[in-house]
């Protein structure tokens, strides 16, 4: 979903579209993150966030501990020699300086290499008054800082594209072109995509099939591709105003592409519950921050209307039926437990006023976190793991699995339509419950980093 605001004090598509007065909405990739509209001059502690905002906030070291990364680091497994590719429209004009400050404040080493490329064309000059450019700057910063925070020894390659995602024929093709360039030139080992759009926003199934070339290319070259499952729970945006982020939503279940692509690993969202001593106070649950005053904000998940069930999901056919189900795995995405991000970008339309720390959540957080684990698993294996889904489903989420089953929460959402002709109309979309075993709210579960790296590195490939 397009980047949405959360108040710091708030805890047969075509015919139906015509019936709803929505017409044929544009297809394109929207960034999946949630931004708390409150800035801090100094990095706040979790205690301060709870006292001032009534929500928790976590630092890189807390995520590292929560996902059991310590044993990996002690063994020299930091992602060294591997490259995480982060794909974002436009990027951020301050990202290199911001990452340097982030690393200094949180005592992280600089990445061995941090490159920015624009293989699909030069990015237009940044505008401080353009809301959409501010949103992508937020997205880029979250992607870069948290991929690096979890795999501090990995190289970072930021791939910026010059066209926003207002329509499918304009937005996705440059992204796919850029990703094909990365694959063709062997520039990375895992590609992280923190964006997507509901399948129903495309004019046809064929239009999605025409955009898959980079994923087949990555399959052949053994490069892992990840995608965020979305931030609107069991629904997704049907229309977006890119000038201010206002949205309308489908009043029925939808799933997001490229998350639904069988060649992509879909990463959903959880809420991590940590004490001040960084230990879990209870098991992770499905991320759902939807309230009567803010929403819909929850981890995406559901079944595809484009892709049939892939063979690796045959064991969970009772849940997904004959279709591809998402997500595959889930990681931290809740705003109630947000990631601390440092940004110095100025954007008056977006409320960004220079150097400060911000709280951000969403599956745009979850995806780079998981990309880092994949990069470390590549290092541990001594080769790229490539297409990950067959290995993940073979590992499963049974007793003793490095994928911890999520059994609490759901991704049901509700809210109010923000754009004409539906403005003010309320909607509710009943999603999916987390249950023992695979489910369409959390997938196979969440990662124990150390154990999952060992399992993936030892998986025959």
Q: Is the pLDDT of residue 1 over 50?
A: no
Q: Is 400 helix (H, G, I), strand (E, B) or coil?
A: coil
pLDDT at 459: 76
**Phi, psi torsion values for 196, nearest 5 degrees:** 170, 180
Helix (H) / strand (E) containing 88: strand 83-89
Q: What are phi and psi of 198, to 5 degrees?
A: -60, 140
The chain-wide mean pLDDT, for the chain, equals: 90
Q: Which pLDDT score, from 0 to 100, does residue 456 have?
A: 97
In the chain, % of residues over pLDDT 90: 80
Which candidate, 126, 191, 158, places its Cα nearest to that of 344? 126
pLDDT value at 23 more than 50: no
pLDDT of 420: 94
Indicate the pLDDT class of residue 461, thresholds 50, 70 and 90: low
The answer, yes or no, to whether residue 292 has pLDDT greater than 80, is no
Question: pLDDT tens digit string along 31-86?
Answer: 666 777 688 999 999 999 999 999 999 999 999 999 999 999 999 999 999 999 99
What CA–CA distances, in Å, run from 446 to 285, 401, 403? 10, 10, 5
Whether the pLDDT of residue 346 is over 80: the answer is yes
Rank 167-176, 277-286, 368-377 by mean pLDDT and report only the highest: 368-377
| Mean pLDDT value across residues 427-433 | 97
Peptide bond preceding 258 in cis form (omega within 30 of 0): yes
Domains of the chain: 4-457 (3.40.50.200)
Half-sphere exposure of 297 (CA within 13 A, CB side): 27
Q: Kindly tell me if the per-residue pLDDT of 451 is higher than 60.
A: yes
pLDDT band at 184 (very low <50, low <70, confident <90, very high): very high
For 132-152, give one letter per residue: b (16+ CB within 10 A) or e. bbbbbbbbbbbbbbbbbbbbb
105-126: burial string, b at 16+ Cβ within 10 Å, e else:
eeebeebbebebebbbeebeeb
H/E stretch holding 73 reads helix 70-74
Decide: 32 and 1 in contact? Cβ < 8 Å.
Answer: yes
Pairing status of strand 329-332 against strand 265-271: parallel
Q: Give residue-wise pLDDT tens across range 123-139.
A: 999 999 999 899 999 99
**Residue bearing the bigger pLDDT, 186 or 168:** 186
215 Cβ neighbours under 8 A, 6+ residues apart: 225, 258, 261, 263, 264
State residue 19's pLDDT score.
30
What CA–CA distance (Å, rounded) separates 94 from 338? 22
Q: How many whole angstroms separate alpha carbon 443 and alpha carbon 424?
A: 33
Q: Is the pLDDT of residue 169 over 60?
A: no
């Amino acid at each position: 979903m397009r980047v949405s605001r959360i108040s710091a004090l708030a805890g047969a598509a075509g015919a139906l579209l015509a019936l709803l007065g929505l017409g044929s909405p544009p297809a394109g990739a929207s960034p999946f993150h949630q931004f708390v509209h409150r800035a801090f001059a100094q990095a706040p502690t979790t205690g301060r966030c709870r006292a001032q905002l009534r929500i928790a906030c976590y630092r890189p070291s807390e995520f590292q501990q929560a996902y059991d990364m310590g044993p990996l680091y002690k063994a020299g497994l930091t992602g060294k020699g591997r490259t995480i590719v982060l794909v974002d429209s436009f990027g951020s004009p301050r990202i290199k300086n911001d990452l340097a400050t982030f690393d200094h404040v949180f005592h992280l080493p600089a990445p061995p290499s941090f490159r920015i490329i624009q293989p699909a064309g030069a990015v237009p000059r940044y505008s401080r008054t353009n809301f959409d450019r501010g949103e992508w700057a937020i997205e880029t910063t979250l992607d870069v800082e948290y991929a690096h925070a979890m795999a501090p020894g990995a190289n970072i390659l930021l791939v910026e594209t010059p066209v926003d995602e207002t329509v499918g024929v304009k937005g996705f093709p440059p992204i796919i072109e850029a990703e094909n360039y990365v694959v063709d030139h062997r520039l990375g080992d895992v590609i992280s995509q923190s964006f997507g759009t509901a399948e129903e926003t495309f004019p046809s199934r064929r239009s999605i099939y025409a955009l898959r070339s980079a994923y087949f290319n990555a399959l052949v070259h053994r490069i892992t591709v990840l995608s965020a499952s979305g931030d609107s729970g069991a629904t997704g945006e049907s229309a977006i105003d890119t000038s201010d982020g206002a949205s309308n939503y489908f009043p029925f279940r939808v799933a997001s592409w490229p998350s639904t692509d069988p060649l992509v690993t879909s990463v959903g969202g959880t809420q991590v519950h940590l004490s001040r001593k960084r230990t879990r106070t209870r098991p992770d649950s499905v991320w759902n921050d939807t309230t009567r005053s803010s929403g819909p904000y929850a981890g995406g998940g559901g079944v595809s209307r484009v892709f049939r069930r892939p063979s690796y999901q045959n064991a969970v056919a009772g849940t997904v039926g004959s279709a591809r189900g998402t997500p595959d795995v889930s990681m931290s995405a809740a705003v109630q437990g947000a990631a601390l991000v440092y940004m110095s970008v100025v954007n008056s339309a977006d409320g960004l006023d220079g150097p400060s720390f911000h709280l951000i959540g969403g599956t745009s957080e979850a995806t780079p976190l998981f990309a880092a684990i994949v990069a470390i698993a590549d290092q541990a294996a001594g080769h790229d793991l490539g297409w990950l889904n067959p290995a993940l489903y073979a590992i499963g989420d049974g007793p003793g699995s490095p994928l911890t089953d999520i059994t609490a929460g759901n991704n049901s959402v509700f809210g109010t339509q923000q754009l004409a002709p539906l403005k003010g109309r309320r909607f509710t979309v009943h999603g999916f419950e987390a249950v023992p075993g695979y489910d369409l709210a959390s997938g196979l579960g969440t990662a124990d980093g150390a154990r999952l790296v060992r399992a993936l590195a030892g998986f025959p490939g």
